[in-house]
Structure 1
């Protein structure tokens, strides 16, 4: 189990490291933890779901067998979106495990754990690890039949977001690939009156990363939108908790812009988002409060809880990958949508399409109305956590910080919410943080033009590389 670790979104590792005994051990450790910390009954029910990668059914079966041997009843929710499993868990007040590697390649996979009230936090991760041992869980006797209750409840929630006919006359392409929501997306969009056209379906798992699109995805979107004369092309990552939305020209919307538009459509008074989302969120002036957090949905959830404690009523959380978390009930045309504090792809897809239709405009024009901020991101690989940590620590000294960034500009402000984020006097932004999933130092930039953001990224990566090389020679 040494190669496995918790990242920003659950436990991840190579499929070869996630054998039946390992999956069973983590399942039992999770159940022991939720029974101790969250008072889950010893004879209660565990919900299990999985995505469409080839290793997921086997891993799910191993977890279900371990849970039954442990004395739990099991509801096999089958292949379904992660937010659908989370919704079912909250409805029943039961723990859940989603087998998914999200957007990572098919040779990898993972486990995502849910308490009865939502995603686990960092304290829960530590609690699970404390109960983890190498003892082989006993095998259960039989398979568990798939229940469609979770998927039907989620489909009903999605269908209630927009009125029937809200997207009438719209041609929406659905890039299906191997998304676990590929059929659900078509069904829900057709229910809004749109002409939903499935394209790009694949029987082989496709690692679609909403933050790092493959060149073939970009080309596919442009060609498909043009050939089919689409108003939009939509998709998700593998487990359908992160959306992918392209405008009528096939240009993909940045995830943080998707979150901003979703929050606007739902009339949020507070937005909670990591420091990697761009500053259009503050500059647009749409929201009473903007809370910035570290990267990762557990931190966004903490921020949403703080916003609720501060008296905010309509709270939307989102990440730069586009996944939107509904931190409080939202009203849409008189219909109330219950809170769902986990990443969801269908919510932003429907909200963004609904906003464009309601305002009688295109997706490209919706984005053009927002403050013009452009971003860049890159990474230095093979930088161990201790080296990136020492590098970030060296920038905490004010004099050293000014000297480090002198060639880029004068430092106006800085914060250490997650790594080191610096704002220069001209508004340009450079942000360094250590990856939570790999031995990498990440660099993010933001500026008023695409060219300047790219220029800053090159500078930032080269400047950090020189500093790391200098430190290694000491």
Structure 2
């Protein structure tokens, strides 16, 4: 599959991400979008990322654009540093997808690009290099990201907590450890890998869940944290080792910040509406560009989040120790710190904090190596009204449907099944919602089996 834009940036096979193609997209971005004072570049820990980052830098400097190399840093840290400098940014990352793939995430001086910007970039492809020269410098994008949360929450926010950190190959691993320790927690580092491991926080395999639960028991942890490969999606497990869904982290974090309006995709659970904590909830298509567009339209004390847990702070919030400035990009550290700090301040365990939320729970997974045309054919059959063959084996019937993004089926039981082909990988995603984590997980497992049968 040729590289293309998905829900968050350009993605493709490493073999297709040639120096020529990277240069073409870099020149198109610089021509089509405002870059402010220059271009900041960061990368994740994939083996292919340094070479791709070097290709971006060469292309930008040849266009006369000053380049600042931030090295291996999390995506939100790069975005924060670039925005503070009034510069654009390109992050080299494939996020959670396998190591044979990679990609680019583009940032304007004010934050993530929109779908309109994507179209403008595509229209600007094919430009010849200008053949100019511009300087290359380095900058520390890591420290400001960590200090942002220590200043806002205070050095005692997590005091007394023993927190495990599943490091794997996340580019954020050392910074997450530093942030948690700076907030007063004792951090136990676990599972570090020098080989890239694709971690999808929405689809954690059973064997990884079992390992996390074992770590929590073995080490007497109050919680365990991690992120995906580029550090913009959080993973949080409670003291029992049970993973906390990203949308629950989002609604808790939005409330902790004092948000009045929440913007979140249709794949997030309906507990945010049922909580009564927000004056307005706006639903969008899946992908941070759509969330950002919704936040811009809403204005005011607005926050956004996705079902993967990535959180976007749209206003200046006053936390326990200081102000937290807006950050209009998907971040992992805030939705890890805020619920942990809230649980500690209230004297509750993390599981008790989660149990106080409305009883709506989501689960998600994907069928891999499903060709896009196969997914499209299945979706077309279902959209023509052939729901019975899908729902009958599950003992469910249709109440209503939502085609905002993919096909979201509201069932007579009050549960939800949502099918959506991936925008940047040969995958078919399935989301479920039910009244308990176990029921959501059971519906997900049975739904995947039914889908496999339909695709066989």
User: What TM-score, normalized by structure 2, do the two folds share?
Assistant: 0.91
Q: 1:191 aligns with which of 182, 190, 205?
A: 182
Deviation at 1:318, TM superposition (A): 0.8
**Distance in 2 of aligned mates of 1:137 and 1:234:** 45
For the Cα contact (< 8 Å) 1:50–1:99, is it kept in 2? yes
**Distance in 1 of aligned mates of 2:193 and 2:449:** 39
- Within a 5 Å distance, the mapping from 1:50-449 to structure 2 comes to 50-133=43-126, 144-148=136-140, 150-308=141-299, 313-333=300-320, 335-379=322-366, 385=372, 388-389=375-376, 392=379, 408-449=395-436
Distance change (3 Å), C-alpha of 1:372 and 1:89: same
**Distance in 2 of aligned mates of 1:223 and 1:403:** 39
Deviation at 1:184, TM superposition (A): 1.4
Greater Rg by CA: 1
Secondary structure of the 2:420 match is: strand
Range moving further from structure 2, 221-230 or 272-281: 221-230
For the Cα contact (< 8 Å) 1:428–1:445, is it kept in 2? yes
Unaligned runs of 5+ residues in structure 1 are 470-474
1:22 aligned partner = 21
**Distance in 1 of aligned mates of 2:383 and 2:94:** 35
Secondary structure of the 1:160 match is: helix
**Distance in 1 of aligned mates of 2:190 and 2:445:** 36
Distance change (3 Å), C-alpha of 1:452 and 1:337: closer
Secondary structure of the 2:352 match is: helix
For the Cα contact (< 8 Å) 2:203–2:364, is it kept in 1? no
- Post-superposition Cα deviations, 1:112-136, rounded to whole Å, max 9, x if no partner, equal 1001111111111121111222857
For the Cα contact (< 8 Å) 2:416–2:434, is it kept in 1? yes
Q: When the two structures are aligned, how many residues end up with a matched partner?
A: 455
Range moving further from structure 2, 443-452 or 283-292: 443-452
User: What TM-score, normalized by structure 1, do the two folds share?
Assistant: 0.87
Secondary structure of the 2:51 match is: helix
Deviation at 1:405, TM superposition (A): 5.2
For the Cα contact (< 8 Å) 2:203–2:365, is it kept in 1? no
The higher-RCO structure (CA 8 Å, 6+ apart) is: 2
